[in-house]
Amino acid sequence: MREAEKTRFSMQLFNAIKGYVGRWEIDKEHRVATRKRRGLVAACPLCDASGYVTFEDSVGKLVVHQCPHDQAMIAAIESSKRYRRIAPACG
């Protein structure tokens, strides 16, 4: 601040930038979470490329569920709902 006074640099620019810091931090958190979620989906052999698991119920109706990326949790869903998991399409 003192250097800015010496050089007569306009501090208005910094005040304007400060108004965007909060929004930038939230956006950064969102980008990090999105990157993490995409990594989990890419590494998961249980779900499709969108991160979902498809099941078929007892009457043949398809049910889509967000993948927990955990075989035991998928087995619990199948057991409790009496669903049958449909393997994701390859490629």
Question: Which residues neighbour 9 within 8 Å (Cβ) at sequence distance 6 or greater?
Answer: 3
Q: What is the pLDDT along the chain (91 residues), one digit of tens a residue?
A: 566 566 666 666 666 677 777 888 889 999 999 999 999 999 999 999 999 999 999 999 999 999 999 999 999 999 999 999 998 876 5
User: Is residue 39 within 8 Å of residue 31, measured between CB atoms?
Assistant: no
pTM for this structure? Answer: 0.66
The ranges assigned to domains in the chain are: 1-43, 46-91
Q: CA dihedral defined by 64, 70, 76, 77, rounded to 10 degrees?
A: -10
82 vs 73: CA distance, rounded Å: 14
The residue among 57, 38, 49 whose CA lies nearest residue 88 is 49
